[in-house]
């Protein structure tokens, strides 16, 4: 009799264990059913390539262009303004009286090719550019650490001067840049801009027509819509000539509001086209030869 | 003595894995779009790459969509949507995990139109909210056609719309789902 009771007890115990296990198994099956479904869905999805966007808030880092291109059928209208040097004292309201402007209209033919035309006060220059997007930074199925853009600018000096009136080609300058940028994270982006500027006409025989420079630009996002930008171009000083110009250094803030981006900055360059601000900067930071300036851009879509 | 017990337990555990059968229907080209209408501006975006899976035996539904795949007519709007509003680098996907509660009313093997009451959790911008809506299910040619429409309040999902542009975005955003599910090949 005792043996039967013990056997019964063991059987009941076994049945209890099995039922509990079954209960747990079925319950957890329901709990994870949706997670399993989701996993199944993800497995089917495969690898995607994520292309980086908004490396900079604008098509300009500060003076120089950034790797951002306009999308197809988008226009951007830009107005840039540089005041006079702030070391001029109160009479000129620290340079606010003097205005140097540049405005341009830029268009995205396709996502990967932009064109633009502009006009600036500096040497009454008309300018135009073509911007090609070569590579986009991406992660995922296709990994690319940087974005690469090629920029080609032409500047036409329209001042009324003897040497320029003699030959039209004397008015022309060209600038070629390869823009290489990387967005490190949501806040920080950095760009290198190796540059070649060719001036058809230079002042003296020992002046050089070709100028090489390397641009360093970057931004730190301070909030969703505000970033701090900095830019420096190191110009390779020609050895033959007593080079009278300085390297451009600029600091500023980008403020984005819907369709506008405002860029407020301080820079030692007066010009707003490459040949001017890279090759012909006369202001010196040490002597407070710096200008307050701003860029405003507005994007339209058609 | 314990061997049969262990055997049964192992068999039961084996049931935990998902079975591959004609119970599951899947799509990777679902159409999800949303529309916001205000006197100031209309905002509309379409995602044609939403993924979804339905388990007809249990009524479980899972739908996911990549935020970056929502296409706007204005490229700048798309950039702002991703960078400033839904922060798609932090929260790349939106997902819905739910269940058809009136499963018995739907016969997945018979052609016809049914109303499906779905309850579940919607996750947008990293925030999850319980939602419950009725959608249309049509069984046709062995496929499941799903049509649903519901409203979403951006603030519910901690999507910050600054005061300056608040009038440009509707308080309730209309979301529409249109997907064709096909039997999943095992």
Interface test with B, best of A12, A20, A34 (most B CBs within 10 A): A34
CB B173 within 8 Å of CB B25? no
Could you give all domains of chain B from N- to C-terminal order, each with its CATH number? 21-183 (2.40.128.110)
Q: How many CB atoms lie under 10 A from the CB of residue A179?
A: 26
CA-nearest residue to B97 within chain A is A34
Q: Over B10-37, what HEC string results? A: HHHHHCCCCCCCCCEEEEEEEEEEEEEE
- Across the interface, whether the CB atoms of A224 and B84 are under 8 A apart is answered yes
pLDDT digits (tens, 9 = 90+) for A49-89: 888 988 999 899 999 999 999 999 999 999 999 999 988 88
CA atoms within 13 A on the CB side of A76: 27
| ipTM above 0.85 for this complex | no
A283: tokens are 């202001």
pLDDT band (50, 70, 90) for residue A155:
very high
CB contact under 8 A, B84 and A53: no
**pLDDT, tens digit (0-9, with 9 covering 90-100), for A185-215:** 999 999 999 999 999 998 888 788 999 999 9
What's the confidence (pLDDT) of residue A200? 94
Report whether pLDDT(A231) > 90: yes
CATH architecture of A52-301: Beta Barrel (2.40)
Q: Where are the beta strands (DSSP E) in chain B?
A: 24-37, 42-55, 60-66, 71-72, 93-100, 112-124, 127-140, 143-152, 173-183
pLDDT (tens digit per residue) in A173-190: 999 999 999 999 999 999
Q: Find out whether A109 and A100 touch, Cβ atoms under 8 Å.
A: no
Residue of B nearest to A299 (CA): B76
Measure in Å the smallest separation between the Cα of B6 and chain A Cα atoms: 9
CB contact under 8 A, B64 and A38: yes
């Amino acid at each position: 009799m005792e043996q039967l009771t013990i056997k019964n007890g063991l059987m009941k115990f076994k049945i209890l264990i099995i039922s509990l296990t079954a209960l747990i198994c079925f319950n957890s099956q329901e709990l994870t059913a949706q997670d399993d479904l989701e996993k199944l869905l993800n497995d089917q999805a495969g690898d995607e390539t994520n292309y980086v966007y908004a490396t900079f808030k604008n098509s300009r880092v500060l003076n120089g262009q950034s790797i951002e291109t306009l999308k197809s059928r988008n226009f951007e209208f830009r107005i840039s303004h540089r005041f006079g040097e702030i070391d001029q004292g109160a009479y000129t309201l620290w340079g606010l009286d003097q205005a140097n402007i540049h405005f341009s209209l830029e268009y995205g033919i396709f996502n990967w090719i932009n064109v633009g035309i502009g006009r600036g006060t500096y040497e009454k220059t008309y300018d135009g550019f073509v911007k090609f997007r070569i590579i986009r930074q991406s992660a995922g199925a296709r990994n690319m650490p940087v974005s690469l853009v090629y920029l080609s600018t032409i500047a036409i000096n329209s001042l009324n001067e003897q040497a320029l009136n003699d030959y039209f080609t004397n008015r022309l300058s060209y600038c070629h840049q390869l823009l290489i940028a990387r967005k490190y994270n949501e806040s920080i982006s950095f760009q290198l801009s190796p540059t070649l500027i060719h001036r058809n006409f230079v002042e003296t025989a020992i002046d050089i027509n070709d100028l090489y420079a390397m641009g360093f630009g970057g931004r730190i996002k301070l909030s969703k819509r505000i970033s701090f930008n900095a830019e420096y171009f190191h110009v390779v000083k020609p050895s033959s000539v007593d080079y009278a110009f300085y390297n451009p250094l600029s600091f500023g803030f980008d403020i984005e509001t819907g369709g506008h981006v405002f860029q407020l900055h301080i820079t030692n360059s007066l010009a707003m086209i490459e040949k001017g601000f890279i090759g012909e900067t006369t202001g010196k930071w040490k002597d407070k030869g710096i200008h307050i300036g701003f860029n405003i851009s507005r994007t339209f879509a058609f | 003595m314990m061997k049969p017990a262990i055997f049964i337990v192992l068999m039961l555990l084996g049931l935990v894995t998902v079975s591959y059968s004609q119970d599951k229907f899947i799509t990777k080209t679902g159409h999800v779009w949303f529309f916001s209408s205000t006197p100031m501006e209309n905002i509309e975006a379409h995602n044609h790459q939403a993924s979804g899976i339905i388990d007809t035996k249990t009524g479980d539904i899972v739908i996911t969509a990549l935020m970056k795949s929502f296409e706007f007519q204005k490229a700048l709007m798309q950039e702002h949507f991703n960078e400033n509003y839904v922060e798609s680098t932090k929260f790349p996907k939106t997902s819905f995990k739910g269940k058809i509660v009136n499963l018995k009313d739907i016969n997945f093997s018979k052609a016809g139109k049914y109303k499906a009451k779905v309850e579940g959790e919607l996750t947008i911008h990293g925030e999850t909210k319980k939602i419950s809506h009725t959608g249309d299910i049509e069984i046709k040619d062995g496929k499941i056609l799903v049509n649903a429409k519901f409203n979403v309040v951006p603030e519910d999902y901690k999507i910050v719309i600054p005061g300056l542009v608040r009038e440009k975005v509707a308080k309730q955003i209309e979301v529409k789902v249109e997907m064709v599910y096909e039997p999943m090949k095992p």
